[in-house]
Amino acid sequence: MKVILPMAGKGTRLLPATKFVPKPLIRLAGRSVLDRLMDKVLALDVDELLIITGHLKEKLEEHVVDNYDVPARFIEQKVQDGTATAVHLAQPYVDGPVLIVFVDTIFDVELAIDENGTDDGTIWVHEVEDYQRFGVIVTDSDGYMTKIVEKPSEPVSRLANVGLYYIRDSAALFAGIDWTMSRPPYKGEYFLTDAFQHMVDNGKKIKIEPIRGWYDCGKLETTLDTNRYLLENGGDRVTEEFTNVKVTKFEGLVVRFAKEVGAKVIIRGLRSGSDF
């Protein structure tokens, strides 16, 4: 199975943190968002990672090569014109089932994929109260997708699309993407969800599966909330190399540029480069 990881975005809602660090490599509770997702992805039978790069692509490529023992192919998205076009770039390298993971959230889910099943795909969802903020999935009585509605004003569904997809019938997926890209873009972008709608409208069966938790890492406020959640719920992983290391404290420190702060470091009265 191939895995497509669209990671070309600039992460503008996380500035200034993403000025020098790609959004997927932002650390939460000591580990990057990408590393946390890859823990789940690499537990599957993965043939190759197809990584869509853009902003600070060299740093992403270096991190992947240095940290994951799986073949990886890097494809640059030179024009940021939507999720459908990002996935479309991987088409020449996909010849079977594909997992698509957007790396701006952390999922609490045990990924179980039956590559020999009869469903054409799976979309994972999370039930939310504030359905107006999300694209939501409407299902039939058997739990299959009938349509996706973006930010509905009425509660047609509370099942939010979380950006995690398995598509067994990749030919149907790319046919849907081609159809999407043949139409006028919406606000300059082509959306992958339109390709899923095209699949369903043409008789494909996409099963909806729930996840236990969904933690946003796409903007500053929610990323801080996610970091707090991970710290309070055992999401910080301390390895043996930090055992018996003396805690270091700094008071009134000024940091203009920093790649990372090490384990067991306490900083008080910090002023960052964005303060100047």
Least confident residue range of 80-84, 122-126, 151-155, 164-168: 151-155
Nearest-CA neighbor of 145 among 130, 129, 167, 128?
Answer: 167
How far is it, in rounded angstroms, from Cα 127 to Cα 130? 9
How far is it, in rounded angstroms, from Cα 211 to Cα 125? 6
Q: How many domains does the chain have?
A: 2
How far is it, in rounded angstroms, from Cα 8 to Cα 245? 37
Residue 237 above 80 pLDDT? no
Nearest-CA neighbor of 265 among 253, 254, 255, 250?
Answer: 250
Whether the Cβ atoms of residue 7 and residue 23 lie closer than 8 Å to each other = yes
pLDDT digits (tens, 9 = 90+) for 244-262: 444 444 444 445 445 455 5
How far is it, in rounded angstroms, from Cα 168 to Cα 170? 6
Looking at the fold, whether 156 and 271 belong to one and the same domain comes out as: no
**pLDDT at residue number 262:** 57
Residue 184 above 80 pLDDT? yes
pLDDT digits (tens, 9 = 90+) for 68-93: 999 999 999 999 899 999 999 999 99
Looking at the fold, whether 257 and 126 belong to one and the same domain comes out as: no
Looking at the fold, whether 171 and 195 belong to one and the same domain comes out as: yes
Q: Which pLDDT band, with edges at 50, 70 and 90, does 112 fall under?
A: confident
Looking at the fold, whether 226 and 255 belong to one and the same domain comes out as: no
Looking at the fold, whether 192 and 264 belong to one and the same domain comes out as: no
How far is it, in rounded angstroms, from Cα 266 to Cα 76? 38
Looking at the fold, whether 244 and 185 belong to one and the same domain comes out as: no
Please classify residue 258 by burial: count the beta carbons closer than 10 Å to its beta carbon, then call 0-12 exposed, 13-18 middle and 19+ buried.
middle
pLDDT digits (tens, 9 = 90+) for 44-69: 989 999 999 988 899 999 999 999 99
Q: Which pLDDT band, with edges at 50, 70 and 90, does 263 fall under?
A: low
Residue-number span of the structural domain to which 265 is assigned: 240-275
The CATH code of the domain that includes 114 is: 3.90.550.10
Pairing of strands 105-108, 2-6: unpaired
What is the CA 88 to chain-centroid distance, rounded? 17
Q: Per-residue pLDDT averaged across 148-168, rounded?
A: 90
Look at 118 and 65; give whichever has higher pLDDT.
65
Looking at the fold, whether 269 and 213 belong to one and the same domain comes out as: no
Looking at the fold, whether 249 and 156 belong to one and the same domain comes out as: no
